[in-house]
Amino acid sequence: MRSKKAQEKEWIRQFCDLMQLCVEQINCDEKQEKPDAFVILRRQQRTVKVGVEVTEYHSDRKRKKGSLGRELASNWEKVLKAIMRDARAYEPLRHVTGCVALKQGAFLPGRRDAKTLGRQLVESTASQVPAEGLSAEVTLKGPFPACYPLMNAYVAELVLRPTKAAQWVSWTCSHVAGFFRLDPTRLKAIVCKKEHETYDWKDARERWLLIVAGADPAALATLGDSDAIEEGSPPETLASEVFDRVVLLEAAFRRAREVWRDGGRPALAANRPSPEPRT
């Protein structure tokens, strides 16, 4: 299993690669804390030492039993595996994607009922999709036929959409996906929390906060393919009195961006190289 430090180093390297930054060295050993790492970047004919604090983005608070969002995502992943397996028996579903909206207060079933719920979702979808495939969006609302008891227990609405992607169904669950999409308020809370911690920046010229979103493998299974999700829209200004830059890595989708820089310069476009620092 990859250590925490090894994972942090991988995230830093992934962010720098996506932003096309020239990295000479990443110092992220086990003894290095607050910040988590020091990175040596080459900019034209000089090197710049950057201190990087790394933190994961979670849109839900921890419970005694762990993260509700991750538990929901894990359960949805089980349902999704059943959908992907059973859908292959229906050729018209090759170009169909579905979005499941749960009932108010409903919680996804665990392993025992996940396969059954997945099968019922596929069978109900197949009954609505003609042999030539979907030509327009179709919305199915409960109550559903009595032969689908788990759908009636958990699902409020099922939206089916045609997709041009040559693939078997890639489904999403709107309730679960909310735990992975970026919430500007939550992002700001993360910045504020990190500002109140104590750091030893040593001789670092710049101080960065790297927020990693979508790092959980379940995020991909939860959000589905990229043409079916809403892109996160954090605020363009996450002003900080401690960090020179607040940068964001959406790991599951290999997207990176700078969302704030000291001095009020506009945020960089996604996956673009960083401009030179102020002199």
Q: What pLDDT, on the 0 to 100 scale, is given for residue 27? A: 92
Q: For residues 267 and 30, what is the distance between their CA atoms, to the nearest angstrom?
A: 32
Q: Between 143 and 75, where is the model more confident?
A: 143
Question: CB neighbours of 197 closer than 8 A, spacing ≥ 6?
Answer: 34, 53
Instruction: Determine what percent of the chain is predicted with pLDDT higher than 90.
Output: 37
CA angle 184, 185, 189 (to 5 degrees): 115
3-state SS, one letter per residue, for 88-136: CCCHHHHHEEEEEEECCCCCCCCHHHHHHHHHHHHHHHHCCCCCCCCCC
94-148 residue pLDDT tens: 888 888 988 887 778 887 899 999 999 999 999 999 988 888 999 999 899 999 9
Classify burial at 103, counting beta carbons within 10 Å of its beta carbon; exposed 0-12, middle 13-18, buried 19 or more. Answer: middle
138, 136, 232, 133: which is closest to 178 by C-alpha?
232
191, 210, 176, 185: which is closest to 80 by C-alpha?
176
Q: For residues 32 and 127, what is the distance between their CA atoms, to the nearest angstrom?
A: 58
Contact predicate 76/68, CB 8 Å: no
Give the domain ranges of the chain. Answer: 15-59+182-215, 66-177
Output Rg (C-alpha) for the chain, integer angstroms.
22
Give residue 57's pLDDT band: very low, low, confident or very high (50, 70, 90).
Answer: confident
Reply yes or no on whether the pLDDT at 192 is more than 60: yes
- Indicate the pairing of strand 245-250 with strand 206-213: parallel
